């Protein structure tokens, strides 16, 4: 009944499924279809919706476009969400270059580095000195940060972010970050995800539930 991480991840999945259904020309959808697309039970879908007051029609299911609009609103897509990245190495650069964020209403405004060879000032997405990060976040009112620096630098980067106004962080460094409660932190540890695959592959047991992303 409460909204938790997994619930929101499921909403993202429902949303993705709805976008595809819409592109295929579907007008209505049943909880069954969404359940199937998201890999859950249909009662779960209806229950998730009931938390947010999303209702359908007895027998008629849900209208794809209405539902999609509501999910988008819940997921914060009613306005562009701006973010910055610290660390423009392998992962950071991959995220900066990814063009899929744009159509999800997520805009990465700038990257920040300590390695000057990675700097590049230009329209669109600049990569600037880490020293400029705090000021940039503050003057642009950015609330979302992505941490893609080596583990030993992550906590320090987080602190700069939080002190400058960042309220939510997606972290790729394989370390537990500590922050004040004013900032929520979601960490994605890709090595752990692979270790997970390896473990369940080895025991070849189907005790496995899909990660919820995913993500988690």
Ligand X SMILES: NC(=O)c1ccc[n+]([C@@H]2O[C@H](COP(=O)([O-])OP(=O)(O)OC[C@H]3O[C@@H](n4cnc5c(N)ncnc54)[C@H](O)[C@@H]3O)[C@@H](O)[C@H]2O)c1
Partner DNA sequence: GCCGTTTTGTAACTTTTTTCACAAAAAAAA
Partner DNA sequence: TTTTTTTTGTGAAAAAAGTTACAAAACGGC
CA 47 – CA 118 distance, rounded (Å): 47
Closest among 145, 132, 140, 131 to 186, alpha carbons compared = 145
Output DSSP code: residue 195.
H
Chain centre distance of CA 210: 17
- Asked if 175 touches its own copies (CB under 8 A), the answer is yes
Residue 194 contacts its own copies per CB under 8 A = yes
Residue 101: closest CA among 84, 87, 121: 84
Residue with smaller CB distance to its own copies, 43 or 98: 98
Q: How far apart are CA 158 and CA 165, in angstroms?
A: 11
104 counts as binding its own copies under rule CB under 8 A: yes
- 153 touching its own copies, by CB under 8 A: no
Strand partners, 129: 113
Please give the residues from 57 up to 86 whose contact with its own copies meets the rule CB under 8 A.
74-76, 81, 83
Residues 65-104, mask of contacts with ligand X (x by CB under 6 A) = ---------------------xxxxxxx-xx--x-x----
Of 30-38, 63-71, 107-115, 176-184, which part binds ligand X (CB under 6 A)? Answer: 107-115
The one of ligand X, DNA, its own copies, none whose footprint includes residue 43, by CB under 5 to 8 A per kind, is: DNA
- Asked whether the beta carbons of 115 and 130 are under 8 A apart, the reply is no
Where do contacts with DNA occur on this chain (CB under 7 A)? 1-2, 4, 6-7, 30-32, 40-44, 46-47, 49-50, 54-62, 209
């Amino acid at each position: 009944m409460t909204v938790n991480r997994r619930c929101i991840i499921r909403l993202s999945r429902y949303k993705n499924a709805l976008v595809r259904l819409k592109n295929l020309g579907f007008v209505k959808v049943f909880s069954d279809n969404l359940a199937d697309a998201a890999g859950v039970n249909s009662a779960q879908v209806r229950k998730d919706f009931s938390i947010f007051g999303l209702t359908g029609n007895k027998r008629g299911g849900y209208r794809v476009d209405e539902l999609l609009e509501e999910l988008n609103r819940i997921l914060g897509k009613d306005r562009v969400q701006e973010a910055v990245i610290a660390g423009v190495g392998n992962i950071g650069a991959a995220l900066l270059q990814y063009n899929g964020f744009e159509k999800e209403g997520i805009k990465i405004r700038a990257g920040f580095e300590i390695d000057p060879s990675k700097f590049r000032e230009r329209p669109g997405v600049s990569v600037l000195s880490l020293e400029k990060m705090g000021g940039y976040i503050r003057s642009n009112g950015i609330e979302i940060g992505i941490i893609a620096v080596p583990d030993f630098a992550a906590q320090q980067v987080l602190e700069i972010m939080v002190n400058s106004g960042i309220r939510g962080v997606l972290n790729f460094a394989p370390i537990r970050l500590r922050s004040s409660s004013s900032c929520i932190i979601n960490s994605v540890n890709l090595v752990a995800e692979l270790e997970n695959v390896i473990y369940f592959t080895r025991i070849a047991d189907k005790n496995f539930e899909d990660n919820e992303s995913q993500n988690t």
